[in-house]
Each structure stands twice: as structure tokens, then as C-alpha cells.
Amino acid sequence: MEQEFTFGGEVVWRATPEQMEHSRLKQFMNAHEIATFDELLGRSNKDIGWFWEAVLKDLQVEFYEPYSQVVDVSGGMPWARWCVGGKLNAVHNALDKWMNTLSERRAALIWEGEGGETRALSYRDLYQEVNRVANALRALGLRKGDAIGLFMPMIPEVAVALLATAKIGAVVLPLFSGYGAGAVITRLSDAGAKALFTADGFPRRGHTVNMKTVADEAMAACPSVEHCIVVRRAGIDVRMQTPRDHWYDELIREQSVEAAPERTAAEDTLMIIYTSGTTGRPKGAVHTHVGFPVKATQDMVHGLDLRAGDIFWWMTDIGWVMGPLLVITSLYTGATMFMYDGAPDYPGPERVWAMIERHGVTLFGLSPTFVRSIMKFGAGPARAHSLASLRAFGSTGEPWNPTPWLWLFEEVGQKRLPIINYSGGTEIAGGILMGNWLTPLKPASFAGPIAGMAADVVDAEGRSVRGAVGELVIRQPWIGMTRGFWNDAERYLQTYWARIPDVWVHGDWAAVDEDGLWYILGRSDDVIKVAGKRLGPAEVESALVKSGSVVESAAIGIPDEVKGEAVVCFAILRPDVTPSDRLKGELRGLVSDELGKPMAPKEIFFVGDLPRTRNAKIMRRIIRAVYLGREPGDVSSLENPAAVEEIRRAIRT
């Protein structure tokens, strides 16, 4: 029996008629004589060839050689091929085509470091820097198809390195800047990387993190890496190994500011970006020169309304899919990317809002975890700065609880700024579901599928369901879908395509309410089944956060002889709240009142932190494994591995 869906609430935001008409989504619909968003979804699902060709034209994607066919599914839906026979280069469309136009003088990148230092590069500046690096890579003997790792902080050179790698037809391999050597080794080895970009180090909270030491340890175990290019970021002494290591500034100093792009096929590999699995080694999602840029840019244009002249900031790391997305989509639309290399609350909780005011950021992407972490400071730090430049918040990384969503919307955004919710994944090249400027908002909601994503919510038999929790699936291929997992085609098929024939099963629980708004309720492998009823962790966590005592929490299911599974919660309390058995009883009562007595937590543990990835996803499967005394599996993507031991201590005490 499907669980009745009760998540949602009242509509809290609608775009004005002027905002709707001005949006790029509405302009796209008008160009194709489409009256409603639902009509657009229907047409994009029915005729995927028409839709993606319309997107290519709308984004003004330029080809060196035209394609003969938009999409070819003769090899089966999991292996759809796009823009067959076409040749283009992602960097031509990001940079080269803007040269000798008025756009070349516009800012392409604005950067601020943790210490307050700033840099800005125009489109012309960035073009020339990318060309210098591209020429340097070619001079080192690097060529089309070679994998090049990016193990770097969020500095301008990481965007340059990404673009230069793609320009010569090499394969971009983004790596989280906080990885230990083991995680870097796994990814460099799997991709057979020939080169690595890194930095000497970077500042964090007033201290210096030595990156080169980690890179050296990793390269010692990866003999395929022939060259390491090191950016002077922290100004610290590091060991340079001749002839492998090169200082970035010295390597490019004499290089020409002109470089021709490699004329890559549309389906040539642009990037391998790794995502951690529940078990086993990380999965290398393969993305192409036509797939990732077009899908990611369409998302930001149709959902967030990204356009030329915007100053676009998504708090991210290059190793998370939102890092490459920030770089590529900003440049594809003629916008300006903003990067910050530092802790978001250093030296104080006003840092993010001060930067938005200082640099005139217009679109700001964050995670629900960030919002939950700053709520304890109140809205004062945000209100002390003008957010007049902002048009919207973007949000991804983790399902929302309504309480922090409403706090951001009402207290920070003053009910003026929509929160454009965005959910998909590394393998998607962006989003499946998203908000937009045409559809009203309820707390934590999505407008629905992004056009071109034939998404549905289904029951265990694959039948569409509404008003109930089900599996999120996709019924048609799309231009940005991963072209499999690197060196592991069978794992790709088993992960997404094995359960329902010709249907991508994404692994998220989702629901659609009576008004047609969509919700993500967490990973389906996180689901808790109490007495035959499915329970999304977000529902329990929302009830706990609503108490006012809990800042953040994680709910897991553990075996129970009577109910099948019982709920166990790990909660982070507000700094001014004292842990006690009485408080545990009150919290159990709140969950019971909200969700019913069978759903009341069997146990509640108070902790100081929860294991999470850099992109702010709480790793409930790791928490559950630790609670049950099992091996936690791949933990290389954790930002805070010490939190795993904290979970162990909480269980023992």
C-alpha cells in the first residue's frame, strides 16, 4: 500500500505577469507558439528530437560540421546518441564565439578569496588565459582523449584549466579539493589520467591546507600521471619533482594568446565526473561535448532564468557537478560567474551576504544544509546587507525541510525572492525536477520536470501514481544523460535500467500533490518502511526541525521484529539547547503527533555533526551502516569523516 502524501502547504510565491513574460522560458514557449508549461512538457516528452533541436537553436550552439540526426536510439535507450555526425567544441561555444563582439569586454569571472583579495577577468582575458594553458598542454604532449585531473580550490585557474583541457579535446576529470590521497588515487587510476592540475595549498578559516602534499602522495601511486601543473595560491614551500612538476605561471608565460579548438565530435568525451555509490568503487559518469553543456545550460536558462549580464554564484567545489556547471552555463549564456574560495561563515556569518552586496550577485545557489547551519545566527547578518541585486535563490544537494525553507524565503528573501529548487545528479548533467518563473511555489516544492525530462512517479509495478510517494523515473532519453560509467557499462545498466524495461529509475522518492507541484523526499535506498508503510527520512527530520530545538537531523530505519523497521534519529541541537532524556521524549512526541505513533523514533541520539558530502548531502546509508555495526562502504566523498566516529561514540554512550 502506498503511503498517503501530506507534504506541501499553501502557495507562498507567484511571479508577476511582467516577470513571467520577461523570463527566457516564456520567450522560448512564445517562439514555438506554446501556451502553457504543461503543454511544453507534453510536447518535449512526445517529440524529443524536436525539443532538443529547438534548445540547440535557442542557445545558439555553433557546429563546425552539421549533424545528420538529432537523436539515434537504434542501440537502445540507455545508449542514445545525439547530434550524430556533428562536430563542435564546448569551449568554442563558451568563449571563442564571443570574441570580436561587444561581449568580449564583459566580465566572465569575478573571484574573491577568503582573505578578501579579488580578481576579475573579462571574456577576452579569460579567452587569452585559456589559450595560453591550452598551448602549454599541447607543448607537454597532451592530446585529445587524455584525461587531465583538476585537484584545485575554487580559484580562477580552475575554470581556466577546465576550459583549456576541453579546448584541446582532452577529458576533464574534476576532483573534490578536500579529498585525501586515497580518493584521488582511485579516480586518477580509474581514468588513466595523464596530467594533474593542483595548487600549492589554500587558506581555510585562517589556516593553510597543503594540497601539493596530497597530490604528491596520490601521483606516487598513479604512474600514468606524467605532468603536474601547480598554481601558486597559498605561497607556501612545496616539493617540486623534476621533470614531472611545473609551476603554472612559468609554464604559460611564453605561450601564445591564440589557440585553435580541437574539432571534437558531438559525442566525444568532455568530462568524467565521479559520484560515490552505496557500495563499491566510485562511478565515473561520462559526459560529452554536446551533452553536458546543452543540458546544464538549458536547466539554468529555463529554470533559474540565467541570462547575459547576470552575476551567477553557486556555492560549490569543482569536484561536485555544480562546479563545472557554474563555469559552463555562465559562459554559454554570456553571464558572469562568481567564485569564492573560502569558508562561507569566515570570519563571520555575514560573509556570504556581504559578498552578494559587494559584487552585485543576481542569482545565488545554495544548499538546504547551508541554510540550516546559518539559521542559528538569525536573519540579522543577511539584513545588514543589501540583497537588492538578487533575483532568485537556487537550491540543490539535499531535500528541504519546510521550516528552513520558509526562514530563507521570509526572513532573508523578504518573500520577494523565489527559491528555485533543483534536483537531479551527476549522471543527469543537471536536473530532473526544477522550479521556474511561471509556476507558483509552495515550501520545498518543484514546479515539476524540466522540459525534456520525461519524469514520472511510479509504484512498485511501474504504474504512475499521484498523491502518494513513489519512485522517481525518466521515460525518455535526454541529451545530457551519462554515456555510461567509465569502463563499467554493465554497472550503469544495472544501476538505472534493470528494474523497468527502457525506464531510468533514478533512486529518489518523490511525490506530486493535488496542485501538480512535485517534491523530492530523499533517496529510495534511505526509505524507512514501518509496519508496511513507507516513510521518507525528510518527513521525520522536518518534524524534528520544527521543534525549534533541532538544527539538523538524520533519520534512518533499523530492523524491528514487530514493525519490520523502526525509526532511529541523530540530531544536532541548537547551541543554547541542553541535551536531556526529557528533550528526547518531547521530540518523540512531536514526531508521533505529526506522523502517527508507529513512526515515533525508537531512539534519538544527540550529535555535534552528521557525515555529509561536500555538496551537503547527509550520508544516511553510512549512519545506518555504523549503527548496525557494518562496514560503511565508500566514504571518500565525505567532507567531515570525523563525523563517522562521532556517530559511533553516540551509539556507545
pLDDT tens digit sequence for 420-479: 999 999 999 999 999 999 999 999 999 999 999 999 999 988 999 998 889 999 999 999
For residue 542, the model assigns a pLDDT of: 83
The pTM assigned to this predicted structure is 0.87
Q: What is the mean pLDDT of residues 321-342?
A: 97
Peptide bond connecting 347 to the previous residue in cis, omega within 30 degrees of 0: yes
Whether pLDDT at 564 is above 90: no
For residue 351, the model assigns a pLDDT of: 97
> Residue 522 — pLDDT band, cuts 50, 70, 90?
confident
For residue 652, the model assigns a pLDDT of: 86
Every domain range in the chain assigned CATH 3.30.300.30: 536-652
Q: 180-184, 227-231, 233-237, 558-562: which range is least confident on average?
A: 558-562
Q: 31-45, 279-293, 532-546: which range is least confident on average?
A: 532-546
For residue 531, the model assigns a pLDDT of: 63
Rounded to whole angstroms, the Cα distance separating 136 from 90 reads 19
For residue 487, the model assigns a pLDDT of: 93
Every domain range in the chain assigned CATH 3.40.50.980: 96-252
What cell does 206 get? Answer: 585562517
Rounded to whole angstroms, the Cα distance separating 155 from 341 reads 6
Q: 115-129, 333-347, 404-418, 552-566: which range is least confident on average?
A: 552-566
Rounded to whole angstroms, the Cα distance separating 528 from 621 reads 12
Q: What is the mean pLDDT of residues 167-172?
A: 98
Whether pLDDT at 1 is above 70: no
Sign of the Cα torsion 236, 237, 241, 243 reads: positive
> Residue 584 — pLDDT band, cuts 50, 70, 90?
very high
Q: What is the mean pLDDT of residues 120-133?
A: 98
Percentage of the chain beyond pLDDT 70 is 96
Whether pLDDT at 271 is above 50: yes
Domain 96-252 is of which CATH architecture? 3-Layer(aba) Sandwich (3.40)
Q: Higher-confidence residue: 7 or 40?
A: 40
Which distant-in-sequence residues (6+ apart) come within 8 Å of 168 by Cβ?
Answer: 134, 137, 138, 142, 143, 144, 259, 261, 262
3-state DSSP assignment of residue 604: strand
507, burial (CB in 10 Å: exposed 0-12, middle 13-18, buried 19+): middle
Q: What is the mean pLDDT of residues 103-110?
A: 96
Every domain range in the chain assigned CATH 3.40.50.12780: 17-88+267-522
Q: Higher-confidence residue: 180 or 10?
A: 10
Q: What is the mean pLDDT of residues 533-541?
A: 75
Which distant-in-sequence residues (6+ apart) come within 8 Å of 31 by Cβ?
Answer: 58
> Residue 615 — pLDDT band, cuts 50, 70, 90?
low
For residue 151, the cross-strand partners are 175
Q: Note the pLDDT tens digit of each residue in 355-375.
A: 999 999 999 999 988 898 899
Whether pLDDT at 5 is above 60: no
Whether pLDDT at 488 is above 70: yes
3-state DSSP assignment of residue 554: strand
For residue 278, the model assigns a pLDDT of: 44
Q: What is the mean pLDDT of residues 615-621?
A: 79
Percentage of the chain beyond pLDDT 90 is 79
- Give the closest residue to 393 by CA, choosing from 448, 315, 294, 298: 315
For residue 321, the model assigns a pLDDT of: 94
* Topology at the third CATH level for domain 17-88+267-522: Rossmann fold (3.40.50)
Rounded to whole angstroms, the Cα distance separating 477 from 71 reads 9
Q: What is the CATH number of domain 536-652?
A: 3.30.300.30
Q: Count other C-beta atoms under 10 Å from residue 101's C-beta.
A: 11
Rounded to whole angstroms, the Cα distance separating 557 from 576 reads 29
